[in-house]
Amino acid sequence: EPEVTQTPSHQVTQMGQEVILRCVPISNHLYFYWYRQILGQKVEFLVSFYNNEISEKSEIFDDQFSVERPDGSNFTLKIRSTKLEDSAMYFCASRVASTSTDTQYFGPGTRLTVL
């Protein structure tokens, strides 16, 4: 069964450094998402991406964040200058987008630790 994959599984970085989290969505999916979960808190929506542009973003997704689909398979989340409060589990998700009711499939997550 096709899966969303994410790399790395765990990333440790110093405050102020740039990080890029990578995701490979399911191949025929057209809508891509990033969510995050700070330890002990809810899973929160960050951004959705469709047709090579951002379709929705939350107030969390400020200028420090960017997303890109650099090729036909990868979908990346870049944090330009990491802060301690960016430490969280980041989930990528994708959906087919053939109907309005199709399902989002999630990857296993990348745990980001900012020191």
Partner 1 sequence: AQSVTQPDIHITVSEGASLELRCNYSYGATPYLFWYVQSPGQGLQLLLKYFSGDTLVQGIKGFEAEFKRSQSSFNLRKPSVHWSDAAEYFCAVGARSGSARQLTFGSGTQLTVLP
Nearer to partner 1, 14 or 103 (CB): 103
Residues 10, 8: Cα–Cα separation, whole Å:
5
Residues 3, 22: Cα–Cα separation, whole Å:
14
**Helices and strands in the chain, H and E counts:** 0, 11
Which stretch in 13-21, 62-70, 75-83, 92-100 sits in contact with partner 1 by CB under 8 A?
A: 92-100
Binding-site member from 7, 44, 60, 74 for partner 1 (CB under 8 A): 44
Nearer to partner 1, 79 or 93 (CB): 93
Helices (H), the chain: none
Nearer to partner 1, 75 or 109 (CB): 109
Residue with structure tokens 């400020």? Answer: 62
Which stretch in 14-22, 53-61, 65-73, 74-82 sits in contact with partner 1 by CB under 8 A?
A: 53-61
Cβ 23 to partner 1 shortest distance, Å: 11
Which stretch in 11-19, 52-60, 69-77, 78-86 sits in contact with partner 1 by CB under 8 A?
A: 52-60
Backbone φ and ψ of 85, nearest 5°: -75, -5
- Longest CA–CA span in the chain (Å) reads 42
Side-chain-side CA neighbours of residue 106 (13 Å): 12
Contact set with partner 1 (CB under 8 A): 4, 31, 33, 35, 41-45, 48, 50, 55-56, 58, 91, 93, 95, 97, 100-101, 103-109
